[in-house]
Structure 1
């Protein structure tokens, strides 16, 4: 993130958090007590939602031969509701039950490929389970009838950022005067609160991560990006595959190269979670259809042919050809 070092000079790092690490930018140094509180939030999210931790609730569901009742923390209620909305708006193309397909494609903690050809079969096979059909939800309790591999990657990291932002807001409010100023950077998921002028955030070129296609200017909002450039590998047949799947086919989406979504902090209770989920949904669903269900967001979509679509209010300066307006 650019232009934050002067306004938010103190950086607190959580290396390896959620797989890629988290940086917290603040105007004053974070106290040990606040640091411990933030670390506890990250641990709580990972212990509930991580697909790679054997002790997580998600792993318990995946290895329950007869299913069962699994009660998640209260903060997951909003995430489950968000998945309900995304599943409906995308016609089932966004579904946390893609975990089964990700495993068959070879997406492990180390991105190891499956060596027996099962990955190629996953390019054709539908998801084994459906969030809306096979999972019964009672508040934050999920009821299953057999093993289900869930992957909450579309919204989980964004939700963690929002939980961290809420904790920082509460801890910094007393000393903030006009309001707390901070930024949280969890890789592709960023929330910025307070800095003036807005933070300038580079929009990474998905075809060359050393370059940017433009700069977004973000203040009191969340910006989430999604692209296969950082998470792709080869399956057993040598095909390039990635983690952004169409849940109806179980195969990676191949029409979109990258997406960026901005949600105002005041526009949603969990703006980063919503932006995170929508950035994934844009790989498999037209922006106009999503805008009808979630009118609060602005976005930029780059397809594999190099064409750009952007909503009129997306706050970016682009270095490429003039995009289509409106979506």
Structure 2
């Protein structure tokens, strides 16, 4: 990771996306190294694209391992999203994604639909400092993991004394000590926006079916109950106090239970249907161009 020229702007590539960190003051080398260590630790624990990660080892052999620091917060939130969506969101969807071609080697060769194990909480246990998988399964934290990592990076940046900060990891954005106007990219035309959302001391996360899409209508947002890509919604945006919560709701909004979960968590949102219609929550403060 190398800093771009300029007082408080740092761009780098990590976990398969472009990061941009803007701060009031330049980050020193120690803080940058701390950010790199946070990202590497999270990736070594949770990346299903790395053969040396913890979740790859569990996918190979199952078993019991010391739980990563994030296990409880991630999987507790996953359980809430799973309940709200009737099981459409499931942390064992990793094997279903790989079968459709979104695998560790990015083969993008479709092997057909296969549902994730419905009774996933009988297969995965996280308590007493341990993470256990009864049978070999691929845990995928993509529904909210990047949001969690954005929160961890922002905490590291703030500890380094960067002042007001904006952390943007490929569209998952956390804002601290400032206001950021964020465009809501049109899912069918990246040169256009459907609106703008002003975010202050909060996070905005987005998800869209045009990102990580391949083959004949395949993309990364699967209904875990069927192994099929979602078809009703094309893009979602959510604003919450932290990025993990915003990321979780942005995923849930592709399914019927999403708005109910957002209301329970006091999260504002916007979503676009595949027919172009736009829906939003009563609490949304987005300026929509519709």
> Normalised by the size of structure 1, how large is the TM-score?
0.83
For residue 85 of structure 2, what is the aligned residue in structure 1?
A: 90
Question: 1:80-129: per-residue Cα shift (whole Å, max 9, x none)?
Answer: 21111111111211111000110110002453222xx623xx1xx32146
The answer to whether structure 1 residue 72 and structure 2 residue 64 are counterparts is no
Secondary structure class of the residue paired with 2:283: coil
Question: 1:137-195: per-residue Cα shift (whole Å, max 9, x none)?
Answer: 224522122210111111111111111111222221xxx7xxx3100000121001112
Secondary structure class of the residue paired with 1:21: strand
- Cα distance in structure 2, aligned partners of 1:183 and 1:77: 26
For residue 226 of structure 1, what is the aligned residue in structure 2?
A: 207
For residue 280 of structure 1, what is the aligned residue in structure 2?
A: 251
For residue 38 of structure 2, what is the aligned residue in structure 1?
A: 41
The answer to whether structure 1 residue 118 and structure 2 residue 111 are counterparts is yes
The answer to whether structure 1 residue 244 and structure 2 residue 233 are counterparts is no
* Partner of residue 183 from structure 2, selected from 199, 202, 205: 202
Q: How does 1:128-207 map to 2 (within 5 A)?
A: 128=117, 130-172=119-161, 180-195=163-178, 198-207=179-188
For residue 62 of structure 1, what is the aligned residue in structure 2?
A: 59
- Cα distance in structure 2, aligned partners of 1:217 and 1:90: 28
Equivalent residues of 2:49, 2:105 under 8 A apart: no
Secondary structure class of the residue paired with 2:103: coil
Deviation at 1:78, TM superposition (A): 1.0
Q: How big is the alpha-carbon RMSD for the aligned residues of Structure 1 and Structure 2?
A: 1.8
Equivalent residue pairs, number = 285
> Normalised by the size of structure 2, how large is the TM-score?
0.93
- Cα distance in structure 1, aligned partners of 2:128 and 2:76: 9
Equivalent residues of 2:27, 2:160 under 8 A apart: no
**Structure 1: unaligned runs, 5 residues or longer:** 1-7, 265-270, 321-327
User: Is the radius of gyration larger for structure 1 or structure 2?
Assistant: 1
**Structure 2: unaligned runs, 5 residues or longer:** 1-5
Greater fraction of residues in strand: 2
